[in-house]
Amino acid sequence: EVQLVESAGGLVKPGGSLRLSCAASGFTFDNYAMYWVRQAPGKGLEWVSAISSESRYIYYADSVQGRFTISRDNAKTSLYLQMDSLRAEDTAVYYCARRAYSGYEVDYWGQGTLVTVSS
């Protein structure tokens, strides 16, 4: 069974940093690209970042470019999102997501973790 389990989020002050992790299991992690997708309270889904299976290709949404860093450790079957210079508008549930093997859709989602940026 595919499982994606995000680390706990939390409350962070504006300008602060937080690192999210996602533990993957039930599939061959290093065969799949991975995404982070977020959802602000009461709002829609927003794609945040993507990383290819061997970390060769990395993409970011314009809203987080230069502030967030995606990475992965295939030996630990884990995905990470380092979030720096956090802003109030980064407040959201962050989902770890597996990109389908041959397309660009998400075929599996984590349960999500809430990150709140507030003073």
Partner 1 sequence: QSALTQPASVSGSPGQSITISCTGTSSDVGGYNYVSWYQQHPGKAPKLMIYDVSNRPSGVSNRFSGSKSGNTASLTISGLQADDEADYYCSSYTSTHILVVFGGGTKLTVL
| Positions in the binding site for partner 1 (CB under 8 A) | 35, 37, 44-47, 50, 59-62, 95, 100, 103-107, 109-112
The smaller minimum CB distance to partner 1, of residues 1 and 62, is found at 62
Min separation Cβ 95 and partner 1, Å: 6
Q: Is 89 helix (H, G, I), strand (E, B) or coil?
A: helix
Min separation Cβ 3 and partner 1, Å: 12
Q: Count Cβ neighbours within 10 Å for each residue of 35-63 and write b for 16 or more, e otherwise.
A: bbbbeeeeeeeebbbbbebeeeeeebeee
> Is the Cβ–Cβ distance between 18 and 9 less than 8 Å?
yes
Min separation Cβ 119 and partner 1, Å: 27
The smaller minimum CB distance to partner 1, of residues 88 and 101, is found at 101
The smaller minimum CB distance to partner 1, of residues 16 and 96, is found at 96
Contacts of 41 (CB under 8 A, 6+ apart): 91, 92, 93
